[in-house]
Amino acid sequence: MVKAVIFDLDDTLISEREYIESGYRHISKLLCEKLNIDELDIYLLLMELFKESSVKVFNRFFDKLEVSYSRKDITELVEEYRNHLPNIMFNDEVLACLEFLKRKGIKVGIITDGYANAQRQKLKAIGAINYFDHIIVTDELGRDYWKPHPKAFEIMKEALDIEYREIIYVGDNPKKDFYISSIYPIKTIRIKRENGIYTINEYFQGIKENITISSFKEIVDLLNLKTL
């Protein structure tokens, strides 16, 4: 019997691409006066550079414009990016799914990796505290406890007072979201989103999800059919 559904955050509950776009809009506003360049032009260049590669976007931005910069300049921009309150919202059908689970008496939680300040700002932006019974930002446990480490799942089990076999975990990233099923009897669901950032990642140690879906409505359908 399913007693809890735990969710990843990025590209599961929210769009990682939408978050990135929000971050670059914030940075564009900061840089437009400093560089005397149109805000939209800065934003479009940042997005173009990101699409080429997500590595050292700010460094490459300054290089492209032939503007001198220091390590401090880059650090400050990265901190601004991570600390900004993003303009994001839940992905389609998420709220309807959460409401369904609540009606069924099924507990809901979040386990999310990523830098703690950035993840907390994302959670604040979507008002996650109003919808979820327990939220774990693994960075607050320590970098060594990011997924696929099982510690967050162990904490979640105790916090919700349930058994592993009563948990479903919904994520999107093959590199870390599904390996938990090889450690504990947790059923895993992979949601494949059209613009997902992590869709091309390889499965960690070849451990795949139990079920693949393309929308949250399928979680509701599976639970109604009692196939989970």
CATH number for the domain running over 4-15+88-224:
3.40.50.1000
Rg of the chain over all Cα atoms, to the nearest angstrom: 19
Cα-based angle 14, 209, 166 (whole degrees, multiple of 5):
85
Domains 4-15+88-224 and 17-83 share a fold: no
> 152 Cβ partners below 8 Å, 6+ apart?
111, 136, 138, 141, 145
Q: What are the sequence ranges of the domains in the chain? A: 4-15+88-224, 17-83
> For residues 90 and 128, what is the distance between their CA atoms, to the nearest angstrom?
9
Q: What is the pTM of this model?
A: 0.94
Spell out the CATH class of 17-83: mainly alpha
Tally the residues of the chain.
228
pLDDT tens over the chain, length 228 residues: 999 999 999 999 999 999 999 999 999 999 998 999 999 999 999 999 999 999 999 999 999 999 999 999 999 999 999 999 999 999 989 999 999 999 999 999 999 999 999 999 999 999 999 999 999 999 999 999 999 999 999 999 999 999 999 999 999 999 999 999 999 999 999 999 877 787 788 999 999 999 999 999 999 999 988 777
